[in-house]
Structure 1
Amino acid sequence: MVAQLETPSLNSTLDFPYSVEGIVQVFTSSHRSFFTSVMSQALRIAGQGTAVLVVQFLKGGIRQGQENPIRLGQKLDWIRCDLPRCIDTPHLDESETKSLQKLWQHTQKVVLEGQYSLVVLDELSLAIHFGLIAETEVLAFLDKRPNHVDIIFTGSQMPKSILEIADQITEIRRSHQP
């Protein structure tokens, strides 16, 4: 969770013997319909005044892209890939591949600039599984991110390498048959 530290008064400063370090959380499931709980966490954090970015890599249909983010409140930016459809296959045409790569490059840039304290990477795991984004690039991105940035991965097919570095793993399971 995004750490927030308060000083006891406006005129005092505190020297902390440690630095606040961002964590990596994973929310995974065999089905693709559990994003609501992660989104409510992002809205709560943004409502407390922390800058949040939500990136949906495989959701399309509204031709949004990083040029047209949705702003929810003052602190939450929400971006979907600039695609005419949602992605459910590794077989993309050239324009879809370019759009996905453009969104990935934009995400890395704004995170490395320190614009956000919480970043939700929705279905990036499935994009990795489909071979659309290289797992090694994602791991390098995690290593380079500013220390204070919390990352939340959501999606099925979570790579073992991400599970191994995660500070928290939540597996959503259905207890009933539809």
Structure 2
Amino acid sequence: MEQTPGNTRGLTLVFTGNGKGKTTAALGMALRAWGQGMKVLVLQFIKGGWKYGELKAAEKLGPNFVMRQMGEGFIKGAGDDGLEAHRAAAQNALQEAKKAVVEGAADMIILDEINYAVHYGLVDLAEVLDIIRSKPPGVHLVLTGRNVAEEVANLADLVTEMKEIKHPFAAGIPAQKGIEF
């Protein structure tokens, strides 16, 4: 069905679970939106430091596909020595997300790994819920990451859980270029 002003509705979508593919699914959707002439903004809450393949691709897509790494890299656990640095980075990303969503800065806004940031207490769940509720009607909002809060899932229009069946890391195979980064 072709979108017309009368039937356009921005959706809230969640990709969660312990399986691989959450960010990949969101980026596939982003590429589809970009191909339809929509502006896309991706804010990465955890990823930082590494030059992931998707960053290189986003640079080539031009000004209507913006991806910003705002994190400090992956968190090792609740006892991670750098948890305060992670928290400060996530808070900064949250402020950027609030502003982008309220202003309708893009047709699709992806908050990559935000569920993980909530789970580790880097950002407050109530603030994330406020962002979802403040979304303008024409904006698609995508949230990724493991351990989605039930309250987030309840507000979403679509929730997909990625379930790990088998992963090469369990067999001692390291992360592969083009697959994990």
TM-score by structure 2 length? Answer: 0.76
Equivalence for 1:45: 33
Q: Does 1:170 align with 2:168?
A: no
Unaligned runs of 5+ residues in structure 2 are 52-57, 169-181
Contact 1:62 1:82 in 2 (8 A): no
Contact 2:44 2:71 in 1 (8 A): no
Distance 2:60 2:31 in 1: 8
Q: Give the drift of 1:20.
A: 2.7
Structure 2 CA distance for partners of 1:72 and 1:159, relative to 1, 3 Å: farther
Q: Give the drift of 1:93.
A: 4.5
Structure 2 CA distance for partners of 1:48 and 1:57, relative to 1, 3 Å: same
Q: What is the aligned length?
A: 158
Equivalence for 1:154: 144
Structure 2 CA distance for partners of 1:175 and 1:54, relative to 1, 3 Å: same
The two structures, once aligned, show a CA RMSD in angstroms of 2.4
Q: Does 1:80 align with 2:69?
A: yes
Structure 2 CA distance for partners of 1:121 and 1:96, relative to 1, 3 Å: same
Q: Give the drift of 1:71.
A: 3.7
Unaligned runs of 5+ residues in structure 1 are 6-15, 64-69
Match of 1:116 among 106, 111, 125: 106
Distance 2:65 2:37 in 1: 9
| Amino-acid identity (%) | 30
Distance 2:90 2:150 in 1: 22
Structure 2 CA distance for partners of 1:172 and 1:62, relative to 1, 3 Å: closer
- From the CA coordinates, give the structure whose radius of gyration is larger: 1
TM-score by structure 1 length? Answer: 0.77
The 5 A counterparts of 1:1-178 are 4-5=3-4, 18=6, 20-62=8-50, 71-74=59-62, 75-83=64-72, 85-90=73-78, 91=80, 92-176=82-166
